[in-house]
Amino acid sequence: MFSLPDLDYSYDALGTYISKNIMELHHSKHHQTYVDNLNKAVDKAPELNGKTIEELLADLDNVPEEVRKVIRNHGGGHYNHSMFWKFMTPNAKNEPTGKLADDIKKKYSNFQDFVDNFSDSAVKVFGSGWAWLMPDLSIVTTPNQDNPIMEKKPTPILGLDVWEHAYYLDYTYKRADYISAWWHVVNWDEVEKRYINT
């Protein structure tokens, strides 16, 4: 059985950048729904019992066809959001440090250039989806609740949810404003840890 992970901070911790209202609905309703529907799908396919969420998503071809779409969408939703909560913190530093900072500056001309590139990719996701930073510091996007691991790519080290449910209550249609605010709460310590370990 998969379960909803606790947040490392309170619903109101991200202040004006992402409101308590959004955080509470996003975590306790949206993410919970992904978990519930994932569990129902796994119940229908007992051969999947005991597999981790990464194992399921990285090998969707071997998930029985009758539950494959639900596991892709809701398992992807569970996996992506479980990471997304970790990618944010109320105690954010403004920029990465150490090897990650150095390597971002090698790949992009400076940190702001990286931020602009990532933001641009996230703004341009058509409809619902995610923008990701990969371990090679490339930026990719996926539709819906897809994740690069479904395409046999590595686990991303940072990701941004650009579904309307992630920002509409605070920013209405202004996705770019949400993205600008989100940079203030990015948990660079977490991203650095994932970068060093991949």
Smaller CB separation from Mn ion, 114 or 163: 163
Residues paired with residue 139 on neighbouring β-strands, in sequence order = 133
Cβ atoms within 10 A of the Cβ of 155, count?
18
Q: Determine if 85 is a binding residue for Mn ion (CB under 5 A).
A: no
Cβ atoms within 10 A of the Cβ of 72, count?
20
Q: At closest approach, how far in Å is the CB of 169 from Mn ion? A: 12
Give residue 43's identity as a one-letter amino acid code: D
Q: At closest approach, how far in Å is the CB of 69 from Mn ion? A: 18
Q: Determine if 182 is a binding residue for Mn ion (CB under 5 A).
A: no
Smaller CB separation from Mn ion, 22 or 71: 22
Residue with tokens 């449910």: 165
Q: At closest approach, how far in Å is the CB of 22 from Mn ion? A: 10
Smaller CB separation from Mn ion, 25 or 137: 25
Smaller CB separation from Mn ion, 70 or 166: 166
The pattern of x and - marking residues 131 through 170 that bind Mn ion according to CB under 5 A reads ------------------------------x-x--x----
Q: At closest approach, how far in Å is the CB of 163 from Mn ion? A: 5
From residue 192, alpha-carbon distances to 6, 67, 91 in Å are 22, 35, 15
Q: At closest approach, how far in Å is the CB of 165 from Mn ion? A: 5
> Measured at the alpha carbon of residue 190, what is the angle toward residues 35 and 24, in degrees to the nearest 5?
40
CA distance 151 to 113: 27
Smaller CB separation from Mn ion, 163 or 171: 163
Residues 78 and 56 sit within 8 Å (Cβ to Cβ): no
Residues 34 and 115 sit within 8 Å (Cβ to Cβ): no
Q: How many residues bind Mn ion (CB under 5 A)?
A: 3
Enumerate binding residues for Mn ion (CB under 5 A). Answer: 161, 163, 166
